[in-house]
Chains A and B, each alone.
Chain A
Amino acid sequence: MRRVPLYPVTKTTLTRRRVLGGAAALGAWVRMGPAAAAAADELAAAVAGYTGGAPVQRGKVKLDIAELVDNGNVVPLTVTVDSPMTAGEHVRAIAIFNEKNPQREVAKFTLGPRAGKASVSTRMRLATSQQLVAVAQLSDGSFWSHTVNVIVTLAACIEGDT
């Protein structure tokens, strides 16, 4: 199923209402049930909250994570942003958001020219199969993102307290 971008690329300022309105309009030709649409809306709203409503373009960012995880409790990931990391052109910040965990935010990183390389790694928890978005803010104020779908299967055996 081809995923439609959750936050339309436009030069005008995106207000939260516009984003939600846009997502609802897309709903007509995107195959999502009402619950899934709500989760996607929340994700879009979280990203919009982070960017202050500024437009987010696709590209420059790479969210590297297994497409099918061994265990949703510990999922390694790396976010890399294509940037020379000079004083004049660098990555200021990177944030990661999720679609279906109890809380949208995963982590927010602050970088700068002293980072040398815009690449951060960590391990996250994934409650279920869902979309993840990595957003980067560049020194020129622009925002870029990468969206990934991750499949999580729950452990077959329920252990209880061992």
Chain B
Amino acid sequence: MARTLINAPSTARRGEVIEVRTTIAHPMETGFRPGSDGKTLPRDIIRRVSCRYNGELVFSAELFSAIAANPYLAFHTVATESGTLVLSWEGDKGFSHTETIALSVTG
């Protein structure tokens, strides 16, 4: 299980724009770096990140080797209704991780 830091409000007013800030532990091995034996270390990065709000895709990102290790991603979404935000990260070597945030929307 990958370690993550998720920062998002647990409640919001309807129509309010909230910020979701995420960090996930991952080496993001570029695929350009030589190892100690001189051979290039194979790429091992997170390639895709997405956020589904009550099932609907509200944000997605395609990441490349230029993203720093332990990738940090922050984005915004409109608090439309109470429910869950499902964050998912996918990458090389079958990497897959999901986190669920509950959001309570009032008003």
Contact = CB atoms under 8 A, between A and B. Distances in A.
- A contacts B: CB pair < 8 Å: yes
Interface of A: 73-76, 78, 98, 101-103, 105-125, 161
Given A110-B60, A123-B71, A105 B77 contact: no
Contact of A120 (B32, B56, B71, B75): B75
**Which 7 A-B pairs have CB atoms at the shortest separation, nearest pair first?**
A116-B17, A116-B78, A121-B74, A117-B76, A123-B68, A106-B66, A108-B62
Contacts of A116: 17-18, 76-78
Interface of B: 17-19, 21, 30, 32, 36, 53, 56-69, 71-78, 80
A119 B77 CA distance: 10
Select the residue from B18, B59, B66, B80 with max chain A CB neighbours within 10 A.
B66
A105 B58 contact: no
A125 B58 contact: no
Contact of A107 (B67, B69, B78): B67
A10 B77 CA distance: 34
Nearest to A102: B32
Contact of A101 (B66, B72, B76): B66
A122 B64 contact: no
A108 B67 CA distance: 11
15 contacts: A74-B69, A78-B74, A106-B66, A107-B61, A107-B66, A108-B61, A110-B57, A110-B59, A111-B59, A113-B78, A115-B76, A116-B77, A117-B19, A120-B61, A120-B75
